[in-house]
Structure 1
Amino acid sequence: MNLSRVDLNLFIVFEAIFALGSITAAGRKLNITQSAVSHALSRLRTLFEDPLFERSSRGMTPTPLARMLIVDVRNALQSMECTLQKTVHFDLSTTQRRFTIAMGDPFDAVLLPKLMERIGPVAPGIEIESIYSDRRRVEAALLEGSLDMAIDVLIPTSPEIGHAAVLSEPLVILACKDHPDIRGSVDLDTYLGQKHIQVSSRRRGLSIEDISLRRAGLTRQVRLRCQHYSAAAHIVSRTHMLMTMPRCFAELTNDALGNQMLAAPFPSLRLELFLYWHARSDKDAAARWLRDQILAVISTSVSGLPSSSKEAGIPQVALSAKLPLGVASKTL
């Protein structure tokens, strides 16, 4: 196949259909007609002698060949974009880009309002798409280019993935304001004697506090496992169950509910989150700028930490590398 005879714009259409799962949506994104997208797809099918996408109830589903091609196509397109960034002045006021960032509930509520407030006036063409991504898929999504960045706990990654510590928060306890056993503080024995709510987007698995307790030979009774901190905070206000969560999330979800927010009986246990990206974006001025904005927003959005309660005797587990706030743990 002679590359000079191939219209490279076809690969831009291919990536848009793959990302959006729709010919109509791809046309809208690229500002071309639906028939133009269909014509481009037809040419691609002829070129590769494969349907590439098949219609299904979920839209245009990629074939195995399309899934194999997308990694190289996205890498090539991003490499070309980075080359242009080197030669064309990066102008915040005119740059048109969409960045896809994976993050969990309720971190998007902590980050996105202040991030959009910060970048909106100076970069009106920068669009942000916040999505949920399975932790096991984060590295693959960054490698293939379907994700630009991700915010998650410390996870093992290859040298191609850079990461920076963005958040280190102590855990606090929420209890209803008229809890019969809790008035202003909670010790370990009282904590273990209560029923608890565990918040997780996963169907199973231990939380960081449960891991720490079990390594000390202790367990707590989880009566309810739910997906969202905001729902759990409302349940706490109507029951005598307790919830353990990072302080900044508690301040956000507990607003106006009147629950007690108490220092946890294991004060040195913390939630630590990291920002992840692919090394190729280090040459992308717009991506580097957005990373800087995210780090700046996070560093100024988390208030002072609560006063520590007396050490409760739980051996603390090294759950992640201790990195200074906002300092890159990999420089790529």
Structure 2
Amino acid sequence: MRPIDLNLIRTFVTLYESRSVTLAAHRLNVTQPSVSYSLSRLREIFNDPLFSRTRDGMEPTFLSTQVYASFRHALTQIEHTISDNQHFDPRHSQRRFRLALTDLGETTLLPAILQRMQTLAPHVELEVVPLEIEKINSWFDNKSVDAVVCSRDIMAPSMGRKAIIEERYVCLLSKQHPRIQKTLDMETFTQEHHVVISPSSGHSLAEDILKTHDISRKVSAVVPHFSALPRILENSELLAILPQQIAQIFARAASLQICELPFDVPNVEVTLYWPRHADDSSAQEWFRQTLIEAIAPGHENNGPPGAG
């Protein structure tokens, strides 16, 4: 077999991880015909189709799956070697970073993150992807996401982590609620009707506490995103439990009030996660530090991210 151009290996790995010619071209900053041409050359070299088109994207063949791990490892080693010998200059870099956030994180954290990044690195691009907890390990393994910020406690030896800020839960409801003004006791809490955020949002601690203490209440609706709450609550007598920071944003934007919960819920840590294999990258270290500075200005950072 004749030598393979490194760009073909990079194209193959990107195609395997994205399962899409369009997405691969976007990540590689090349045209779709260029990716298709590279795929044709790879098919000729390996004498194998490598990928077949399906409704769910590009499905790898058996041979493709076999060679991916070796190519991914080799490419990672090359990238690390280059990264170790290059200084990342945020002022001139045109690199794209990918960050996974919940819809809550997009509302409360993203504006400050973008402002900080635009100030320090005006040409850098940030792509935000919706957080899917069950995919974090695979995202980090295939380098499709650079960092995750969420309040879910995730423990894995392949991940670096650093707690950034603490958040607390409160109850949010309409200012015009006929039976509640400023304070909320347990009897009222259990008798009123509630709208609940799906556990897939990553914010299930308060719900877990309710179950632990066998506190029942009347649930009228379950919604997948926090962004639906302001209009729902403003035009109803429903109650919702959510983190204080987003509750304050919603209360300023709509006719809503915040009440303390009538039971104790421990504070929750908002944590930054990243793949351990990125620890030695100056670009990744800059990105992590910028996220920390944006989310929690003045946050104590004893040493490089990863110490926490």
The 8 Å contact of residues 250 and 256 in structure 2, kept in 1 or not, is answered as no
Distance 1:71 1:273 in 2: 33
The 8 Å contact of residues 97 and 127 in structure 2, kept in 1 or not, is answered as yes
- 2:146 is matched with 148
Candidates 5, 11, 14, aligned match of 1:13:
11
Identity between Structure 1 and Structure 2 (%): 31
Are 1:257 and 2:244 matched, yes or no?
A: no
- Distance change in 2, residues 1:112/1:329 (3 Å): closer
Task: Give the Å deviation of 1:50.
Answer: 3.1
Matched residue type, 1:173: C
Are 1:124 and 2:122 matched, yes or no?
A: yes
- 1:164 is matched with 162
Larger CA deviation: 238-247 vs 37-46: 37-46
- Distance change in 2, residues 1:28/1:237 (3 Å): closer
Task: Give the Å deviation of 1:72.
Answer: 4.5
| CA-atom RMSD in angstroms | 2.9
Matched residue type, 1:46: E
Q: Matched residue of 2:102: which SS?
A: coil
Tell me the TM-score normalized by structure 2.
Answer: 0.87
The 8 Å contact of residues 102 and 132 in structure 1, kept in 2 or not, is answered as yes
Task: Give the Å deviation of 1:325.
Answer: 7.7
Distance 1:70 1:149 in 2: 23
The 8 Å contact of residues 170 and 247 in structure 2, kept in 1 or not, is answered as yes
The 8 Å contact of residues 82 and 284 in structure 1, kept in 2 or not, is answered as yes
- Distance change in 2, residues 1:232/1:120 (3 Å): same
Q: Matched residue of 1:265: which SS?
A: coil
The 8 Å contact of residues 201 and 226 in structure 1, kept in 2 or not, is answered as no
Are 1:182 and 2:192 matched, yes or no?
A: no
Q: Matched residue of 1:300: which SS?
A: coil
Larger CA deviation: 89-98 vs 194-203: 194-203
Are 1:292 and 2:289 matched, yes or no?
A: yes
TM-superposition CA deviations, 1:169-217 (whole Å, max 9, x none): 11111111121221111122211111111112639x9932221122112
- Distance change in 2, residues 1:188/1:286 (3 Å): same
- Distance change in 2, residues 1:128/1:72 (3 Å): farther
Tell me the TM-score normalized by structure 1.
Answer: 0.81
Matched residue type, 1:287: Q
Q: How does 1:84-123 map to 2 (within 5 A)?
A: 84-123=82-121
Distance 1:192 1:19 in 2: 47
Task: Give the Å deviation of 1:123.
Answer: 1.2
The 8 Å contact of residues 168 and 268 in structure 2, kept in 1 or not, is answered as yes
Distance 1:180 1:128 in 2: 45
Candidates 250, 270, 274, aligned match of 1:273:
270
- 1:318 is matched with none
- Distance change in 2, residues 1:121/1:235 (3 Å): same
Distance 2:112 2:193 in 1: 35
Task: Give the Å deviation of 1:104.
Answer: 0.7
The 8 Å contact of residues 165 and 325 in structure 1, kept in 2 or not, is answered as no
Matched residue type, 1:236: L
Distance 1:185 1:68 in 2: 61
The 8 Å contact of residues 50 and 63 in structure 2, kept in 1 or not, is answered as yes
TM-superposition CA deviations, 1:250-283 (whole Å, max 9, x none): 1223332111111222344333332111111111
Distance 1:27 1:329 in 2: 32
Q: How does 1:16-27 map to 2 (within 5 A)?
A: 16-27=14-25
Distance 1:69 1:110 in 2: 42
Task: Give the Å deviation of 1:78.
Answer: 3.4
Candidates 183, 205, 208, aligned match of 1:208:
205
- 2:191 is matched with 193
- Structure 1 unmatched runs, 5+: 302-323
Distance 1:230 1:218 in 2: 26
The 8 Å contact of residues 172 and 245 in structure 1, kept in 2 or not, is answered as yes
Distance 2:34 2:204 in 1: 50
Larger CA deviation: 238-247 vs 66-75: 66-75
- 1:56 is matched with 54
Larger CA deviation: 218-227 vs 80-89: 80-89
Q: How does 1:42-53 map to 2 (within 5 A)?
A: 42-53=40-51
The 8 Å contact of residues 205 and 265 in structure 2, kept in 1 or not, is answered as no
- 2:75 is matched with 77
Larger CA deviation: 33-42 vs 164-173: 33-42
Are 1:41 and 2:55 matched, yes or no?
A: no
Candidates 232, 236, 240, aligned match of 1:239:
236
Aligned residues: 307
Distance 2:305 2:87 in 1: 29
Distance 1:262 1:112 in 2: 26
- Structure 2 unmatched runs, 5+: none
